[in-house]
Amino acid sequence: MNRTMNRKRALLPCVIALALAGLTACTNNQQGAAPKGKVSIIPMPVSVQETPDSFLLDKQTVLVATTPEDKQSAGLFNAWLKELTGYELTVAEQGDKNAIVLHTGTDSSKHAEGYTLKVGKDRIDINGNDGSGTFYGIQTLIQLLPVEKGSTLWIPGADINDYPRFPYRGLHLDVGRHFFSADFVKKYIDLLAMHKMNTFHWHLTEDQGWRIEIKKYPRLQEVASKRKESMVGHYNDQKFDGKPYGGYYTQEEIKDVVAYATARHVTVIPEIEMPGHSLAALTAYPYLGCTGGPYEVGTKWGVFDDIYCAGNDSTFLFLQDVLDEVMALFPSKYIHIGGDEAPKTRWEKCPKCQKRMKDEGLKDVHALQSYFIQRMEKYLNSKGRRIIGWDEILEGGLAPDATVMSWRGEEGGIAAAKQKHDVIMTPGNYCYFDHYQSKGKNEPVAIGGYTPVSEVYSYEPIPAGLSKEEASYIKGAQANVWSEYMPNAEHVEYMVYPRATAMAEVLWSPAEKRNYDDFVERLKQHLHRLDMKKVNYAKHVFEIRGEVDSTASGVSVKLDSKLDGGKIFYTTDGSAPSPKGTAYTNPIVIDKAETIRALVFLDDKPYGNEYTQPFVFHKALAKKVTLAQPPNGNYNPGSPFALVNGIEGVKEYNDNQWFGYSGNNMEATVDLDSVQDIHSVGVNILNAKGPGIYPPKQVTFLVSDDGQHFKEVYKQTTFAKEGINQVRAPLQQVKGRYVKLVAQNTGTIPAGAEGAGSKAWLFVDEIIIN
């Protein structure tokens, strides 16, 4: 009797638990079970239906796999499972009850890389449309597992149908500026495959280091792989560490990495830069350059005038030999040949290059670059391969079978798609993970720009305005990781994750299903998986985001944090926010010059970086602004409103406030709503010549009553200060309704400067009228 009563008492908590939560059954074989996993998947599948069934995974569960690919996928599942349970499942060729059954079909009418996954009470079925599909089904199953360890694991019931939106889903890594071990590259591939990305773009050669062993040219590893020192701090600081630096991958290491990637259904695309970014190779073999040297492996970041000589046949023989060894290592359909940032300074003066232009009937040095790229393309085509190049390969005429990576905004991709060329979209303002991801003052130095997780997630790879046929040439997109300011693997992870999870969802999930708030909720669970993989990810996604909007009297600021349980407190008097101060409840109205400081607190403890935003107050605040032409896509705050939102861009240009124009002029007209006295006009201009941001030739302000007839009221032609030049012009007896700003781009970067001959950037922000 007592044992019966005790048994009833023991069962009672189980009954209550089932009634309240609908979670795990309370049976003897559940002792030590982890809490049931959640249906919280990144990237979001095409279709997910949760079901009341749950599957209990234990030591007796069998993994059923019959093909070599499926057995490989089963092995990868077991590796993850062992971290949670301490054991692996038996892999067998048959099984029914208490089994996870993998099956790869061969129906070509179904979506490539697609799969279905059904979690039932007695078994789990994963059916892949191909080997990749089964592998991605396994990745989804891993995300259905609990994140807590246990001897048994409850997997929630689900019925999933899934396939990718784009066939090309890429992540890039530059190992030229900084070198990363083969083991880290494997981890990098592991992580991108975990997020259903399928392409690893390995940037192997640079001005600052050649990173791939080429047996026919041993000086590439003996000389070109090393530099005497490296920059420390930002490029503008011009400081160096005085320490020799080097590293390269042996061909055996590369074979190992490629095999590792293949097992995870990842294609590795090597990049061998040409004709530019070749200073390291020229140092090893000076005859490949126009001047014959001597050369030195780059110690600065940036763009160098010395590039491969296009008039020298030995250049092409060298590159063909190099590519022969590269193709033997990489089975990928594509070989990336760069083609970007190749100044023509040397070619313009080189007798061999000038003779080549004359012999080939080439009208200019841009046509010579096209000749260079097309010649290399023909060679690669003869070997059954295709080329990818950055969008500069459009200049002078696109090679016939080339695929274009559009990085300087979307314009190059649009032009290539209209010419019926395949395109990989990778515009800087969404896809460059070397940009800052937080405005916090403690962020490690980065190249510039501002690309938070939310910006990445908002990206739409198919540009507006393309026809359905033209859009079909957009094969996908890629995030790029340039390593100038990433000296070690932990720093790379910090810059890449969780931004790469957002990019993965952009490329895999249906556009209509994407929702940022829902993504962040799923990310909260997903970060535990990154913890298991020991990823040094950034936590900025839970910091305060400020959204500025116009009001009747100026602007207001809406603050938001996705931190569960977090509370925002703020000040406007310059003091530090605290939980004893003003709690944020409604948008903060800006009606005078002031600074908002805000922090999110969890259990009265601060979390993450402080949100600090100074505001200026002036007549043009929130007024209508018309632009004669939009800024370059890489530096476009998204709306002309940012020119009059009261926020002045910072010199690091990491706040998404600067309007950037590449080679073009900037013209903006502000409508003050009525004719009124204008006592002063102003604007901010950025001067940062290291990365190619040049002050304008001149800035002109004009005023009009009717918006048609303008009168010049101020002109300035010198902007000598390094950093931000604040143009402030007092006016006397000036009235008007419309104020026009014209900033004339300097055009091209002058000879002798970094990137000479390239288009200069013009950066403009905050039009201030009083």
Crossing angle between the packed helical segments 351-360 and 365-382, to the nearest 10 degrees: 70
Kindly list the strands in the beta sheet with 545-550, ordered across the sheet, starting from the edge strand earlier in the chain: 545-550, 555-560, 588-590
| One-letter amino acid for residue 414 of the chain | I
Q: Quick one: average pLDDT of 664-676?
A: 97
> Is residue 31 over pLDDT 70?
no
Q: Would you give the end-to-end CA distance of the chain in angstroms?
A: 90
Two structure tokens written together for 172: 């890039």
Cα–Cα distance, 569 to 261 (Å, whole number): 47
Which residues make beta-bridge pairs with 582?
570
468-482 mean pLDDT: 97
Spatial distance between the Cα atoms of 515 and 517, rounded to a whole number of angstroms: 6
Give the pLDDT confidence of 130-156 residue by residue, as tens digits. 999 999 999 999 999 999 999 999 999
SS3 76: helix
- If residue 75 lies in a helix (H) or strand (E), which one and from where to where? helix 68-85
In sequence order, which ranges of 426-467 are alpha helices (DSSP H)? 428-431, 453-457
Instruction: Please say whether the beta carbons of 602 and 563 come within 8 A.
Output: yes
- Sign for the pseudo-dihedral over CA of 562, 565, 571, 576: negative
> What is the distance between the alpha carbons of residues 443 and 734, in angstroms, rounded to a whole number?
44
Write the pLDDT tens digit of every residue in 701-755: 999 999 999 999 999 999 989 999 999 999 999 999 999 999 999 999 988 787 7
Residue 188 pLDDT greater than 60, yes or no? yes
Contact 487, 434 (CB under 8 A): no
pLDDT value of residue 107: 65
Contact between 46 and 509 under an 8 Å Cβ cutoff? The reply is yes
SS3 per residue for 173-198? EECCCCCCCHHHHHHHHHHHHHCCCC
**Homologous superfamily assigned to 168-509:** Glycosidases (3.20.20.80)
Closest listed residue to residue 422, CA positions, set 440, 437, 400, 407:
400
By the 10 Å C-beta count (0-12 exposed, 13-18 middle, 19+ buried), 735 is classed as: exposed
Q: Residues, the chain, total?
A: 770
pLDDT of residue 758: 84
Distance CA 337, CA 617 (A): 50
Query: What's the CA gap between 498 and 530, in Å, rounded?
Result: 9
Task: For residue 615, give the amino acid letter.
Answer: F
Beta strands at 123-128 and 115-119: parallel, antiparallel or unpaired: antiparallel
Average predicted confidence (pLDDT) for the chain? 92
Q: pLDDT tens across 568-621, in order?
A: 999 999 999 999 999 999 999 998 999 999 999 999 999 888 999 999 999 999
Catalytic positions, please? 341
Element holding 328 (H helix, E strand): helix 313-329
- Asked if the model's pLDDT at residue 109 lies above 80, the reply is no
3-state secondary structure of 663: coil
pLDDT higher than 80, residue 23: no
Average pLDDT over residues 535-549: 93
**pLDDT value at residue 5:** 35
Closest to 306 (Cα-Cα) out of 420, 298, 243:
298
pTM summary value: 0.86
- Decide if 157 contacts 119 (C-beta within 8 A): yes
Beta partners for residue 667, in sequence order: 742
Q: What is the pLDDT of residue 243?
A: 97
Number of other CB atoms surrounding residue 707 within 10 Å: 13
**Mean pLDDT, residues 621-648:** 94
If residue 516 lies in a helix (H) or strand (E), which one and from where to where? helix 516-532
Which architecture, in CATH terms, is 543-615? Sandwich (2.60)
C-alpha angle 532-533-539 in degrees, rounded to nearest 5: 85
Collapse the DSSP code of 296 into the 3-class scheme (helix H, G, I; strand E, B; otherwise coil) and give the result: coil
For residues 696 and 145, what is the distance between their CA atoms, to the nearest angstrom?
Answer: 57
Q: What is the DSSP letter of 289?
A: B
Q: Which fold has domain 37-162?
A: Chitobiase; domain 2 (3.30.379)
Phi, psi at 628, each rounded to 5°: -65, -35
Domains 37-162 and 543-615 in one fold: no
Instruction: Name the residue with higher pLDDT: 746 or 551.
Output: 746
CA distance 695 to 745: 7
The answer to whether 186 and 495 have CB atoms below 8 angstroms apart is: no
Phi/psi for 22 (5° steps) reads 60, 35
What is the rounded distance in angstroms from the CA atom of residue 183 to the CA atom of residue 171? Answer: 17
Residues 6+ apart with CB under 8 A from 553: 589, 591
Domains of the chain by residue range: 1-31, 37-162, 168-509, 543-615, 624-769
- Asked whether 739 and 695 are in contact (CB, 8 A), the reply is no
406 CB-contact burial (10 Å; exposed 0-12 / middle 13-18 / buried 19+): buried
CA 485 to chain centre: 15
* Confidence tier at 28 by pLDDT (50, 70, 90): very low
The torsion angle over the Cα atoms of residues 348, 353, 355 and 360, rounded to 10 degrees, is -110
Task: Provide, rounded to the nearest whole percent, the portion of the chain with pLDDT above 70.
Answer: 95
The SS3 assignment for 583 reads strand
CA distance 285 to 322: 13
φ/ψ region of 104 (left if φ > 0, alpha if ψ in -120 to 50, else beta) reads beta
Buried/exposed code over 542-554 (b: 16+ C-beta within 10 A; e: otherwise): bbbbbebeeeeeb
Quote the DSSP letter at residue 37: P
Nearest to 541 by CA among 557, 556, 524, 518: 524
Fold of 624-769: Jelly Rolls (2.60.120)
Nearest residue to 719 via CA among 744, 687, 690: 687
Confidence of residue 108 (pLDDT cuts 50, 70, 90): low
Buried/exposed code over 500-514 (b: 16+ C-beta within 10 A; e: otherwise):
bbbbbbbbbbeeeeb
- Residues 526-554: what's their mean pLDDT? 92
The confidence band for 535, taking pLDDT boundaries of 50, 70 and 90, is: very high
- 309-354 pLDDT, tens digit per residue, is 999 999 999 999 999 999 999 999 999 999 999 999 999 999 999 9
CA pair distance 43, 766, nearest whole angstrom: 38
Torsion of the alpha carbons at 614, 485, 409 and 274, rounded to the nearest 10: 160
What pLDDT is attached to residue 288? Answer: 98
Rounded CA separation 566/556 (Å): 22
pLDDT given at position 26: 37
Q: What is the pLDDT at residue 24?
A: 36
Rounded Cα–Cα distance for residues 608 and 316 (Å): 52
pLDDT value of position 29: 41
* Distance from C-alpha of 140 to C-alpha of 128, rounded to nearest angstrom: 12
pLDDT at position 444 is 93
CA-closest candidate to residue 270, choices 305, 233, 322: 322
The contacts of residue 477 (CB under 8 Å, 6+ apart) are: 166, 168, 169, 170, 424, 425, 426, 431, 459, 461, 503, 506, 507
Question: By mean pLDDT, which of 5-9, 56-60, 262-266, 272-276 is the weakest?
Answer: 5-9
Neighbours of 320 (CB within 10 A): 15
549 neighbors 641 (Cβ within 8 angstroms): no
How much is the pLDDT for 32?
67
